[in-house]
Chains A and B, each alone.
Chain A
């Protein structure tokens, strides 16, 4: 009996000692689809960190829906860094005082080291001959898309559809008409990006899926090459992948320098190259050019260009009683 107590005590002491001497651990709280990217990126970062500082570091990942993750961090999840897929999620954390108010100024390119865009996935061989946005409002085409109310992916698809009309010189009224025709062709709204991919590929619903460019690689990994073709429309939207240091956690844990090094590494050629491999558009021009085959040049516009800001777009289009609700009104 006594020995077992002593054994337990020494085990606790051992655990405490090893915890004290253990290397720093960072927690990266991120969105769903970035899981595979950050797995590769973390391996590279740990090696890089060992080489440059001689110290060991460990990076834990947490992935779920982007805004669910932001809520978790706001409610106390001890993330050192957040890497999201919409700026609204980081703005929300800034409002709560969890990340710096001027988080956009802390890193280059408005603190988004990578971007993506919305494009189309069609079934192999493109049987419905879908080339551009106008094909999506044809009466014989069924479109799978995410509900803008429940997913950032859906908000971006909606804004892309709206913005491309403006990019062609159309008015807001024409854009509204186009968007309403497009959503008439939607047989079911998905909850999130992965849900939409499942509807399109597993349930065989619809003729075209509007989703992030980066989803193409995941689809090929998951369902095999040659099941879908990626179609690059003539114009689409730039979607930013913002990152920020969680000041609340790093000031408590004393990991500010490590967190910054981690996010800085996203901008390094090595980090950008890994992003490119996962079909996430790098900011680095040389690397972007190198992967021109994957990132076909299309006319890109930003949210700010036609909507002021994402927060503004949220208010006008997606809040209750906004443009999106009007599509389904009465």
Chain B
């Protein structure tokens, strides 16, 4: 009995199983497909193609100069690096939060559950200002950390903290329903067969929730890459050190350099797209295994 047999009854929320022939709730495959494509084009593709067309106004050399400047490269490293770290932290922390919310009963659980959604609803600038107020040298937490030489606000560390904040609900909300669906019987069966707690988690529960975790990771990561509002207040915005890519783009727009801004944006979009493709690929591979 291997892990995959346990994983199979739980479908990943990101990829419903293919059962086209079976039974359709909505009639007219052609109609619905046409609608889907039209809607996606209007909402997603047209704005994005405008982005690409804007960059076409540049020569290849201009484009390369705009996206390969050392400041821009440093901002790519920072933005993608900080987003990656934040998404990793969120996978672990988010799993714990989801676990506690699903498996335990405690007073105030409803409130705790609602709190998870707060980063979704809060204007991110408010979160940024609040985090900065707490972590700055005169803030509640910062006043104890800075005398010990730990500076978080206006440093790359502050950026990671802001990105952890905005990314948390993505992991919790993708893992939670899957955890709720995993049947207790499986764990009991594992225990009966002599598995210890660690084996039960690692070989029974984890394979079931891994696709959801990966989806949560991808969403938290993608969100963090494009995040502006919350990060901008806590980042020191120093070139080469704590300047995120969205700020570079805003800076270019402030100087009416539309082409340069869209060039950087399109590279950012390209990298994100490739990363999401890879993550989707890993998921698909995980399912077929």
* Residues of chain A whose beta carbon lies under 8 Å from any beta carbon of chain B: 65, 67-68, 71, 92, 147, 149-151, 186-191, 195, 202-205, 314, 318-321, 325, 327-330
Q: For the complex, would chain A's binding face be called helix, strand, loop or mixed by DSSP majority?
A: loop
Shortest Cβ gap from B144 to chain A (Å): 15
Instruction: Check if B69 is an interface residue, CB within 8 A of chain A.
Output: yes
Does A149 contact B238, Cβ atoms closer than 8 Å?
A: no
Extra contacts besides A67-B254, A68-B254, A320-B260 (9): CB < 8 Å: A67-B253, A147-B251, A150-B247, A151-B254, A188-B154, A189-B239, A191-B250, A318-B255, A327-B239
Q: Which partner residue on chain B sits nearest A152 by CB separation? A: B254
**Which residues of B are found within 8 Å of A330, using beta-carbon distances?**
70
Does A92 contact B256, Cβ atoms closer than 8 Å?
A: yes
**Which residues of A are found within 8 Å of B133, using beta-carbon distances?**
202-203
A188 CA to B260 CA in the complex, in Å? 24
A75 CA to B182 CA in the complex, in Å? 53
Does B138 contact A191, Cβ atoms closer than 8 Å?
A: no
- The answer, among B65, B71, B136, for a CB contact under 8 Å with A328, is B71
**Which residues of B are found within 8 Å of A204, using beta-carbon distances?**
136-138
Does B70 contact A203, Cβ atoms closer than 8 Å?
A: no
5 residue pairs of the A-B complex, CB under 8 angstroms, read: A92-B256, A147-B251, A149-B255, A203-B138, A320-B65
Does A147 contact B237, Cβ atoms closer than 8 Å?
A: yes
Interface string of B50-81 (1 = CB under 8 A from A): 00000000000000011001110000000000
A191 CA to B236 CA in the complex, in Å? 9
Does A190 contact B138, Cβ atoms closer than 8 Å?
A: no
**Which residues of B are found within 8 Å of A328, using beta-carbon distances?**
71, 238-240
Are A325 and B69 CB-contacts (below 8 A) given A187-B236, A188-B238, A205-B154? yes
7 A-B pairs with least C-beta separation: A188-B236, A149-B251, A328-B239, A203-B136, A188-B154, A204-B138, A189-B237
Instruction: Check if B212 is an interface residue, CB within 8 A of chain A.
Output: no
Shortest Cβ gap from B113 to chain A (Å): 33
Are A191 and B232 CB-contacts (below 8 A) given A319-B255, A320-B69, A325-B69? yes
- The answer, among B69, B139, B154, B253, for a CB contact under 8 Å with A187, is B154
- The answer, among B138, B154, B242, B254, for a CB contact under 8 Å with A149, is B254
* Residues of chain B whose beta carbon lies under 8 Å from any beta carbon of chain A: 65-66, 69-71, 132-133, 136-139, 153-154, 232-233, 236-240, 242, 247, 250-251, 253-257, 260
Which of A150, A187, A325, A330 has the largest count of B CB atoms less than 10 A from its CB? A150
Does B236 contact A189, Cβ atoms closer than 8 Å?
A: yes
Does A321 contact B251, Cβ atoms closer than 8 Å?
A: no
**Which residues of B are found within 8 Å of A205, using beta-carbon distances?**
136-137, 154
Does A203 contact B153, Cβ atoms closer than 8 Å?
A: yes
- The answer, among B71, B132, B251, for a CB contact under 8 Å with A203, is B132
Are A189 and B251 CB-contacts (below 8 A) given A205-B154, A320-B260? no
Shortest Cβ gap from A185 to chain B (Å): 12
Does B138 contact A188, Cβ atoms closer than 8 Å?
A: no
**Which residues of B are found within 8 Å of A202, using beta-carbon distances?**
133, 136
**Which residues of A are found within 8 Å of B238, using beta-carbon distances?**
186, 188-189, 328
Are A150 and B137 CB-contacts (below 8 A) given A188-B237, A203-B153, A319-B255? no
A330 CA to B139 CA in the complex, in Å? 33
A319 CA to B69 CA in the complex, in Å? 12
A325 CA to B139 CA in the complex, in Å? 32
A327 CA to B154 CA in the complex, in Å? 19
Q: Which partner residue on chain B sits nearest A89 by CB separation? A: B256
Q: Which partner residue on chain B sits nearest A150 by CB separation? A: B251
A253 CA to B282 CA in the complex, in Å? 59
Shortest Cβ gap from B133 to chain A (Å): 7
Does A65 contact B254, Cβ atoms closer than 8 Å?
A: yes
- The answer, among A68, A190, A191, A325, for a CB contact under 8 Å with B239, is A325
A68 CA to B251 CA in the complex, in Å? 11
Which of B133, B251, B253 has the largest count of A CB atoms less than 10 A from its CB? B251
Shortest Cβ gap from A46 to chain B (Å): 33
A329 CA to B241 CA in the complex, in Å? 11
Q: Which partner residue on chain A sits nearest B248 by CB separation? A: A149
**Which residues of B are found within 8 Å of A327, using beta-carbon distances?**
239
Q: Which partner residue on chain A sits nearest B258 by CB separation? A: A71
